[in-house]
Chains A and B, each alone.
Chain A
């Protein structure tokens, strides 16, 4: 009789512990989701049910300015993945832009966030080879990348690499030897 009673207590204890652990895991997960959606990792936001989706902010070159669009993506939790998704959306282009100037077949081969606060974006050779725009087009592409990165992360600056290597320029008008901030951070004002 005593033996059965002890056994019941053990089983009940195990069940209670399991329930408590599940509760803890649930609460921790909820806290992380909330911090992501309020911009602790980036400014990406969530307003879809079930928290399985999130929004990223993407800047697209459109005529002679940038156009900000929010894109819904499957929820990811690391800053790097959010940034990657946002850049992939940028490379896809926007259906609402009349003349897409993002170079065809461009692939984001890699993304590395350095301790210096710089995001190093490694694009495929197509990004450079298939750029056939003028000076303003190149400026808008570089600025779109920079603004998209800053809008979705805590990164300070952006550096572009082509096929794992440093490149002197993407389109022949702007130097890519330095991070982009000093080039594109200011507000674009065309007469």
Chain B
């Protein structure tokens, strides 16, 4: 009698699972993404698909970018945002951008069906837990601050190209890490781009006007081995109405931009232990921003690893720079 009851219970559970599966199948599988990390190795696991779906999945690598091509539409059920890598979905494909990626191995496992990608990455692991807590300034001091991050280039505009990196990818990866670190410190962030797409200078201005930030940081890569932080250089604009013209909007913020650049330089020198140069240049991108604005150029990939640890150091330096600038 008891056996019959257990059988009925199992049958009922099976029916529920089957009915839920059919609903899920109609909308495409819901894929969850999890990851684990050990020094030099990042493992990313994609779950939530059936065997057939898994068999039709292909993985391609191009520099730091992985393209995972699924056989049909899908949705991302869960993905905890991380500084380790960025994920973006386009149609049936998922793009995973891993900074410092050397090569990958991937394999399918069953029970439950899942795709496992082992990524060999340059450098060690990012400082985590207590180390990160030690470096982060008091979050409360920065809450209410809004920063627009501008990852340079994108799409067909590649920027500087090295043997195994592109400026557009580095800028996007650093931007992602900075956003992650700033959010943890209660700093509100927005980006001029969050995918590999080209945006003109004018479109970047539009994002800034829409977001109306307290600070603006553009991220690029330098041809030199140093960090270079630029702020705008422009003639004095005495006509008040002219100060609101697009190309002169930075005129009212030059002094603050210089202070911000110097605060960032000080933080970078301390945390990244590299030479940091502060310069003025009449950069159009900065000239049209009505907020303290800087362009940070990180060193050429020939001279800098861009490991996750390095990115975290840059991001923490930016946070420290913002915090110190706010105190002045």
Q: Please report A residues at the B interface, Cβ cutoff 8 Å.
A: 99, 129, 132-137, 139, 168-169, 172-175, 177-178, 182-184, 186, 189-191
Contact = CB atoms under 8 A, between A and B. Distances in A.
Given A134-B221, A172-B157, A183-B284, 13 more contacts: A132-B160, A132-B167, A135-B281, A139-B281, A139-B283, A168-B200, A168-B202, A169-B284, A173-B283, A173-B295, A178-B247, A182-B247, A186-B282
Nearest to B200: A168
Contact of A135 (B161, B230, B247, B278): B230
B222 interface: yes
Interface in B185-242: 200-202, 220-224, 228, 230, 233, 235
Given A134-B297, A135-B281, A186-B282, A175 B220 contact: no
A139 B283 CA distance: 8
Interface of B: 152-153, 156-161, 167, 200-202, 220-224, 228, 230, 233, 235, 247, 277-285, 295, 297
Contacts of A135: 220, 222, 228, 230, 281, 283, 295, 297
A69 B195 CA distance: 43
Contacts of B200: 168-169
B149 to A, nearest CB: 16
Contact of A173 (B220, B228, B280): B220
A189 B282 CA distance: 11
Given A133-B223, A134-B223, A178-B247, A183 B201 contact: no
Given A132-B159, A134-B297, A191 B279 contact: yes
Nearest to B233: A186
Contacts of A129: 156
A174 B277 contact: no
A133 B221 CA distance: 9
B302 to A, nearest CB: 13
Nearest to A184: B282
Nearest to B202: A168
Contacts of B230: 135
Contacts of B159: 132, 172
Contacts of A190: 279
A188 to B, nearest CB: 8
A191 B284 contact: no
Contacts of B157: 172
14 contacts: A129-B156, A134-B160, A134-B222, A134-B224, A134-B297, A135-B228, A136-B281, A168-B200, A169-B200, A172-B152, A173-B220, A173-B284, A174-B284, A189-B280
A173 B282 contact: no
Nearest to A178: B247
A40 to B, nearest CB: 32
Given A132-B161, A135-B297, A175 B223 contact: no
B175 to A, nearest CB: 15
Contacts of B152: 172-173
Contacts of A173: 152, 220, 283-285, 295
A132 B202 CA distance: 21
B228 to A, nearest CB: 8
B297 A191 contact: no
A187 to B, nearest CB: 11
A186 B281 CA distance: 10
Contacts of A99: 223
B201 A175 contact: yes
A190 B233 CA distance: 11
A184 B283 CA distance: 10
Contacts of A182: 247
